[in-house]
Amino acid sequence: MVKEAIRPAWVEVNLSNLDFNIKNIKKKASGREIIGVIKADAYGHGSVEVAKVLRENGVKTFAIATLQEAITLREAGAKEEIIMLGLTPDMYADVLVEYDITPVVCHLENAKAISEAAKKAGKTVSGLIALDSGMGRIGYLTDDNSAIEEIKQISELSNFKIKGIFSHMATADAYDKSFAKLQEYRYMEFYKKLIEAGVDIPFRTLANSASIMEIPTIHYDAVRPGIILYGCYPSHEVDKNELELKPVMSVKANIVHLKDVPVGFSTGYGRKFISKRPSKIATLALGYADGYPRPYSQFAKVIVNGVIAPIAGNICMDQCMVDVTDVPNVKIGDEVIIMGSDGKNTILADDIADATGTINYEITCAFGQRLPKVYVR
C-alpha cells in the first residue's frame, strides 16, 4: 500500500513521462514559445507539481482557466507569466492585477475596468485580445469590422497594453482540416486588418495540442499544449506517429476485502452481477465520486496481479467490486490498476472514455479531483 496516499486508492503521476512529453513537444514546436496549459489542476495531474516540471524544461508561461487556479500557482511560488484563458468579469479586475495575471479581453468596457484597476495599483497590465475564429465561444468575431475600431481604442488605454491576439481551434483534431484552415485564414486576415489600422500586435498564439502535431503553419509565436503534455492524444483522428507520448496518469487501488461466494450471489445496486459459478469477489475503496464512471460498470476491467479482471456489478459512489476468481493467489492489499499499465496489460484513459461516450480529457480531470496524488519519477 502507498501510505502517503492516506487511503487505499490514488492517482499516480509519473513526472518522468511528463518530462519526456514536454521535451518531445518542444522539438515538434521548433523553437516556438511553449505556453503550458495547466488549467483544471493540470487536467487532474496537479498544477503545482506539473508547473515544476515545465519550469525545469524552460517553460516560462502557464495558462489556466480561473482566477483561483492562478492564485494557487502564485501562492506556490510561481513567478512565470500566467495567462487567464477565460474572461475576467470587471468585479475581479483588482484580483487579476494583484496577482499579475495576463487577461484575455473582447470587450472595451472590460479592458477599461482592468486598466483602471491597474492604474489604482500603480501597474500596467499586458493582455491578449480574444478572437472568435470559429470556436463560437469567446472573442471578437473575425468578420466584425467594428471590432477593429474597438481594439484600437483598447490599444490607447493608459494602463492596459495589448500583448497580442489569441484564438482557439475547433476541429484541429479531425481528419478533415478544411475548417481548421478556414480558422487560420480568418485569424490571419483579422491580424492584417489590425496592423493596417495601426494596432501593434507583437504576439500571436493559435495552436492547441492537435495543431502542434499536425498544423505547423499556425505555430506562430507560441503554442499551447494541453492534453498532449499528459500523454493523451487529442482524438483518435490525429496521427500518433507525429508525436511520441507517454501516459502520465495511472489510477491504482488496493484490495480492501475478499470473499468467496456461491453460485447465484449478487453484488451492487440493482444486482447487475449474479455469479454463475463459485466466485471470489474483491472490494476496492474507489467509486464514481472518485471519477470512475458509473456507466463504465458493464464494460470495466482492471488489472490484478497481471490478470485482466472484470468489475462485478455497478460501480458505487465510493467502492466497487471486482470478480477475481481467475486471479491466482489474490489477497487483501494486492495492488489493482484501474487505469495504467503493468508492462503486459494496459488500460488507457481512452479506453474508459470510449466505453462511456466521452473524451480522455474528462477522464483524467475526474480522477484527479478527489483521489490523492502520488508523484513518481
Catalytic, out of 27, 79, 269, 331: 269
Contacts of 32 (CB under 8 A, 6+ apart): 219, 220, 221, 222, 223
Residues 329 and 187 in one domain: no
Is position 298 within any domain? Answer: yes
Is position 369 within any domain? Answer: no
Residues 232 and 275 in one domain: no
For 16, other C-beta atoms within 10 Å of its C-beta total 12
Is position 374 within any domain? Answer: no
Q: Which domain holds residue 231?
A: 15-236
CATH value at residue 306: 2.40.37.10
Residues 58 and 163 in one domain: yes
The ranges of the chain with pLDDT < 50 are none
pLDDT value for 46? 99
Residues 271 and 128 in one domain: no
Contacts of 175 (CB under 8 A, 6+ apart): 237
pLDDT value for 6? 83
pLDDT value for 202? 97
Residues 197 and 93 in one domain: yes
User: What is the tally of structural domains in the chain?
Assistant: 2
CA dist list (Å): 359 to 20, 133, 139, 317: 23, 23, 25, 21
CATH value at residue 142: 3.20.20.10
Residues 66 and 106 in one domain: yes
Which pTM value belongs to this model? Answer: 0.96
What are the cell numbers at 10?
Answer: 490514488
Catalytic, out of 39, 163, 177, 252: 39
Is residue 39 part of the annotated active site? The answer reads yes
